[in-house]
Amino acid sequence: MSKRNILITGGAGFIGSHVVRLFVTKYPDYQIYNYDKLTYAGNLENLKDIEDSKNYTFIKGDILDSDTLKDTFQKHAIDGVIHLAAESHVDRSLHNPDEFAMTNVIGTIRLLQVAKDAWKNNFEGKRFYHISTDEVYGSVEHGKFFTEETHIDPQSPYSSSKASSDHFVQAYHNSFKLPTVLSRCSNNYGPNHFPEKLIPLMIHNILQQKPLPVYGKGENVRDWLFVVDHARAIDTIFHKGNTGEVYNIGGNNEWKNIDLVHLLCSIMDKKLNRSEGESAKLITYVTDRPGHDLRYAIDASKLTNTLGWKPSVTFEVGLEKTVDWYLNNPDWLSHVTSGSYQNYYQHMYSNR
């Protein structure tokens, strides 16, 4: 296996930490540089088990900071980028769209430009991999699925910023032949997920016996994929994906929010020795999210048929592993839910 120097942006976040772990452990000949600003969502505790590995280096840096990016590319002869750094939560994007435009759009452009300059238009053996989301396609009616050809139709400030960054990535490929590849994944779940997103927020609130805030009627549908399977797909696409192309990644695992919350309640009632139905009493319907996309559903057949990836973990097993991880890591949960999380929760949920 050849040696590589790979920059992973956002490697201290939820998905990024699983990607870093997979690359550090699977590819001992690669040097992995985790470049992360450590926003509220970045947490080095996620990487405690691999932080002393010889082929792993953490660099605290902002993707908006071109100088630090340039230094990093030069000093470490970076030849591959896996770009995950982003503001990632739809509800926050409704309150603070500027930050999403800055990080997700301008930050991605700066990273593209630094890679292009550092590689001096000699792109042999180079790769720039941008991680995107199915949310750029907007909402899809029942019975239909997003393919890579589906028209981009983002509805939230978050998905608009991701769609814009996708276009810039494609533009750097079309205009400068930068060797890009891009993937769009459905909703991830698993260990280390920050409890602002549906599944970890519900797990946290069930533990605390706090109300479980379901937006609107709970009829919205998401396709859930275990985060380790997303990391495996990223590994496959980074190594085997065709330059300039887009790959959809999904779990073929659609759930209405309300059904998923009931399932979590029932799993946790058993694990916590509560009587069946006890946690479900906490379900509280709250004011819907503005512009709430009704359904996301991914057709990942291109990735499966051309590159041979498919999910390895069923939803039953993945959800069980996830709940167990939160029950076994109370310190992680209490660290991320103390301090500013309390203000966030108050601000986001008190008037719903």
Q: Which residues bind to ligand TYD, rule: CB under 6 A?
A: 90, 135, 187, 197-198, 201, 213-215, 220, 222, 257, 289
Distance of CA 51 to the CA centre of its chain: 21
Partner in contact with 213, chosen from ligand TYD, ligand NAD, none, beta carbon below 5 to 8 Å by kind: ligand TYD
Partner in contact with 215, chosen from ligand NAD, ligand TYD, none, beta carbon below 5 to 8 Å by kind: ligand TYD
Among the listed residues 158, 189, 247, 344, the single catalytic one is 158
Residue placing its CB nearer to ligand NAD in the complex, 107 or 213: 107
| Residues of span 168-187 touching ligand NAD by CB under 6 A | 185, 187
Place of tokens 């949920």: 349
* CB 203, CB 246: distance < 8 Å: no
> What's the min distance (Å) between Cβ of 240 and ligand TYD?
28
| Residues of span 39-98 touching ligand NAD by CB under 6 A | 39, 41-42, 62-64, 84-86, 88
Partner in contact with 107, chosen from ligand TYD, ligand NAD, none, beta carbon below 5 to 8 Å by kind: ligand NAD
- The tokens describing 31, both together, are 């040097």
* CB 148, CB 185: distance < 8 Å: no
Task: Give the up-direction half-sphere exposure of residue 100: CA atoms within 13 A in the CB hemisphere.
Answer: 19
DSSP 288: P
DSSP string spanning 256-323?
Answer: EHHHHHHHHHHHHHHHTTPPTTTGGGGEEEEPPPTT---B--B--HHIIIII-----S-HHHHHHHHH
Residue placing its CB nearer to ligand TYD in the complex, 280 or 307: 280
Task: Give the up-direction half-sphere exposure of residue 35: CA atoms within 13 A in the CB hemisphere.
Answer: 30
**Of residues 188, 205, 253, 322, which one binds ligand NAD by CB under 6 A?**
188
Our answer to whether residue 158 is catalytic in this structure is yes
Our answer to whether residue 219 is catalytic in this structure is no
Our answer to whether residue 135 is catalytic in this structure is yes
* Secondary structure tally for the chain: helices H, strands E: 13, 12
* CB 315, CB 253: distance < 8 Å: yes
> What's the min distance (Å) between Cβ of 198 and ligand TYD?
4
Partner in contact with 116, chosen from ligand TYD, ligand NAD, none, beta carbon below 5 to 8 Å by kind: none
C-alpha to C-alpha distance for 47 and 18, rounded to whole angstroms = 8
* Contacts to ligand NAD by CB under 6 A: 9-10, 12-16, 36-39, 41-42, 62-64, 84-86, 88, 103, 107, 131, 133, 162, 185, 187-188, 194
Q: Please list the active-site residues.
A: 134-135, 158
